[in-house]
Chains A and B, each alone.
Chain A
Amino acid sequence: MSVDEEVDAELDFHVAMRIHEYIARGLDPEAARRAAMTKFGDLGSTMTTCRALGYQREREMQRHEYLSELMQDIRLAMRQLRRLPVFGCVAVSILAIGIGTTTAIFSAAEAVVLRPLPYAHADRLAMVFDRWHDVDGNAAAGNYAEWQRRSTSFDQLAAADFGNMTVASGDSPERVVGAQVTANFFTTLGVRPAVGRVFTAAEDHPNPNVAVLSDGLWRRDFGGDRDAVGKTIRLNGTSYLIVGVMPAGFDPTSSGEELWTPAGFTGEQLTDRDNHHYVVIGLLKPGATIDRAQSELTSIARDMEKEYPQTNTGYAVHVRSQKDVIVGDNRTWLFLLLGAVGSVLLIACGNVANLLLARGASRAKEFAIRTAIGAGRGRIIRQLMTENLVLGAAAAVLGVGVAWAGVRLLVAAAPAGIPRLEMTRIDGTALGFALMIAIVCSVIFGLVPALRAGSTDLHGVIKEGTRTAMASTRDRARTALVGIEIAVALMLLVGAGLLIRSAIYVARINPGFEMDGLFTARVALGQPAQGDGVAEAEQTFDRIVTALKSRPEIAAAALTSQAPLGFAGTSNGLVPEGRPRTIAYAIQSQLRMVTPGYLAAMHIPLVAGRDISDADVRGAMRVIVVSEALARKAWPNESAIGKRIACCEGTDADPRWKTVVGVAADVHSNGPTQDVGPEFYLPMAQAPSDAWMWVSRAMTVVARARHGDGAALAPVIRAVVKDADPAAPVYQAATMKEQLRTNLAATRFTLILLTVLGGAGLLLAITGVYSVIAYFVSLRTPEVAVRMALGATAFDVVALLSWQGAGAIIGGLVAGAMASLWVTQFLQSFLVGVRPRDPVTMIASIGVVALVAAAATVIPARRATGVNPATALHG
């Protein structure tokens, strides 16, 4: 009876009783009815009130009933888990590790990739590049000025030129990355200073000598004293007034700059469209998109190509969102790791599902009995799902602990240079993520066994009382799970295999020079007291190199503007003599200013001609040594020796020709994972005077130790430099091997992580295979005993039993191989010397998985043949 019907019936009854009473007192029926109604009062409103109260009561009862059933389910689930502590611990641990690692990597991805940059209008910030022949480069000040004048997509466009500066506020000079920025740089980013102010428009003129410090520099040099604002600081020998301090973490281009001075463009600079120094950041107008800005600036660039063909031919503009530029490759990297970790989680879910299926079999009788006494199918599924959620919840709690430890490990172990990684936290988002995947996992690993339990053939189970009735259907589910686990494990292994192949390839690459015992350090001179300082710089560096050569610990020493693994300057417009001086013939090449003996000190073999010598000084014939790659490019199929090339100084009308006197072997100067490019070496003693400005009056000392790995040379070099110029800072001092390690750290880190994950995935998958096969075998032990008794050989039996697992294994391998072909494309950017679809890796991985899976199959089968037939048949 519904609430409405109950209320109607009850009130009807009441009125009928009254009428009956009044008739008994002598009223006629009609008068009795009227009297009863009067006595009752407002029937309609009473009915409404009673119905409302009745429904409320019904809802409360349902809610109460539901809650008490849920509590009952949870209590039951906990009791089930307690009754099987080993099962519970294994399942919860497997899941906790899976959930924890996935959450840790997710938190890192959240911090690095997903979280918006800490700027007021982060989504409107864009970076604008001068793009030359498909390479994004820095912008020329003149181009920046034109963009600013002509474009309408941006609220503001700011420019910054990054470079090393020598800062002196204590006794030892310090070398930091600094930037000359337009006054609107900070307002474009929308970041206010923590102390003091930023630059005013009035300071956007040549030489205002004011500076803004980073939080780090302020704390190091001024102890975080707010009175630092108003004091002066010496930069490259000149006094600057400190006007402000930026908040901690302000690093808009991830270049780690520590101080800012106004760019103060001169009129001349504002029309310079030839020197590309500036990073340009723009704040898009509200509603303007990157695409719109891109198409607008593209048309501006085309106009400028027509107006200034001399400087702007071949230049295009590229607009990218700032976040995209900064996050860049890390996005792929983190999602790759997340995918790998997620795969391991998936395998873990598969194993737990298998455990649950196995338990479902042993609980078949329990479910059958519960169904028999009236529990609906839905009720049993609900109870199983509750059990799984309890399992998942326990795993989530433990998993958060694992994630917390994982994040600390990741931040500590990850290579330097991943922006914002140190900001990784287990915060609300991470907890939400952990909870979500715990629920998803519970559903994934719980649904199959739960549905299976709900559709159990009751009669069969009760009659047989054993597992045989369910064996066949259950087998299919378990077999499929094993297949999936094998497929996912194979994918992980292929990924790890490709990275291992890359690592082997990289380790075997000849870098082009001898690493052993090689030590390098940067030395920067202060600003010249007078004039251009070229002679004085050359003399100081001469003193340093001469002193180094005389030291007994040092076998060979030289100077270069930049050693391999450091970024050398590039020369765009290199044109061999006899060719038209047009872009089509221009070669982009790295240039290194060196002292005599550089090639010898580095053990870079000379392929032809001679090395730069002490006789190659100003006034003598201008010479260069080119790399093989440059020689091939400039003079294919010809000897380069004696050929001439114009570079680095002079004009088109009056080129300064340099004669090639030697060809040096190629060097992997951007690191072993990068391709070899054209390079040339220019004698320091013949360097054009503005070359000292390009290199910011800083050179790299390369020294080869007579014994050992060269680490002991650091104090020697410091002492020599201090002797030659006490104000010159020595920085980035390290053995070449250390630098190589840093250079390869990210690749190595990814490799180790993926290998560990691949191994863990394989191990989990194999555990799954083993447990399933062992289960099949246990079902057929009596049959095996009969066969053995009838004369079957052990081999026959093993073959028979193994065949049962073979389908899953082969299916998994095929699916995994196909999935790998698709997945490996995401690894492309991490691979060196090996293609994503490398057949060797694929075959080797399939081989490993097949072999281990076969072993996991044969071992339980082999064990079955050892069972005593009598025990198997009667026990």
Chain B
Amino acid sequence: MSGDQSKDWLHGTLDVLVLKALSGGPRHGYAVARWLEDTTGDRLQIEDGSLYPALYRMERKKWVEASWGMSELGRKAKLYRLTPRGRKQLQLETSDWNDYVSIVSLVLLTATGAGPDR
């Protein structure tokens, strides 16, 4: 995927991707970005900057909470952790996504043919 299309598509799903990234345990923003790159084999083109507003928004919604801790390089980093509310949100969005995919798949994979009266 490329260009504007990718951005639109991303906007709605960035939150759930970040939630998923955090579901394995607390991570700082850079680690979230790296996890997404590693998991997708760099096929997802996300600007690093767009992660942070998503994180801050979710912090406001109390899906994640943050605390300052020590990073690998001995620098202070802000660590994000899923809250119970965030975990529930992740489940909800995952199951919504699965429903969506199966419905779209159903449509796309059904063979088309002329109707009896056309």
Contacts and interface: CB of A to CB of B under 8 A. Distances in A.
Contact of A46 (B30, B49, B60, B68): B49
A11 B76 CA distance: 12
B48 interface: yes
B47 interface: yes
A470 interface: no
B87 interface: no
Interface in B85-103: none
Contacts of B73: 16-17, 20
Given A40-B48, A41-B47, A49-B53, A57 B75 contact: no
Contacts of B76: 9, 13
A13 B48 CA distance: 12
B30 A53 contact: no
Contact of B30 (A6, A17, A50): A17
26 contacts: A1-B68, A6-B78, A10-B28, A10-B29, A10-B52, A11-B52, A13-B28, A13-B30, A13-B77, A14-B28, A14-B29, A14-B48, A17-B30, A21-B34, A40-B48, A41-B47, A41-B50, A46-B53, A49-B52, A49-B53, A50-B53, A53-B60, A54-B56, A56-B60, A57-B56, A57-B60
Nearest to A6: B78
A60 B62 CA distance: 12
B11 to A, nearest CB: 14
Chain B residues touching A, majority SS? helix
Nearest to A11: B52
A42 B56 CA distance: 17
A138 B50 CA distance: 87
A481 B46 CA distance: 72
Contact of B56 (A9, A20, A53): A53
A818 to B, nearest CB: 62
A17 B73 CA distance: 9
A41 B50 CA distance: 8
Interface residues of B, number: 22
Interface in B34-52: 34, 47-50, 52
B49 A10 contact: no
Chain A interface residue number, banded: 20 to 34
Contacts of B49: 40-43, 45-46
Nearest to B47: A41
A50 B47 contact: no
A39 interface: yes
B13 interface: no
A50 B52 contact: yes
B56 A13 contact: no
A53 B53 contact: yes
Given A10-B29, A57-B60, A40 B75 contact: no
B52 A16 contact: no
Contacts of A16: 73, 75
A352 to B, nearest CB: 43
A14 B34 CA distance: 11
A100 to B, nearest CB: 46
B6 interface: no
Interface string A424-454: 0000000000000000000000000000000
B52 A57 contact: no
Interface string A45-68: 110011001101100100000000
A787 interface: no
B47 to A, nearest CB: 3
Contacts of B56: 49-50, 53-54, 57
Contacts of A39: 47-48
Given A18-B48, A50-B52, A10 B77 contact: yes
Interface in A1-35: 1, 6-7, 9-11, 13-14, 16-18, 20-21
Given A10-B28, A53-B60, 9 more contacts: A9-B76, A10-B78, A17-B71, A39-B48, A40-B47, A42-B47, A49-B52, A50-B53, A57-B59
B50 A18 contact: no
B29 to A, nearest CB: 5
Contacts of B77: 10, 13
A9 B71 CA distance: 13
A41 B33 CA distance: 13
Contacts of B59: 53, 57
Nearest to A20: B73
B71 A46 contact: no
A50 B78 CA distance: 13
Q: Which of A45, A57, A60 has the most CB of B within 10 A?
A: A57
Contacts of A11: 52
A53 B48 contact: no
Contacts of A41: 47-50
A6 B60 CA distance: 15
Nearest to B31: A17
A42 B52 CA distance: 12
B52 A46 contact: yes
A17 B75 CA distance: 10
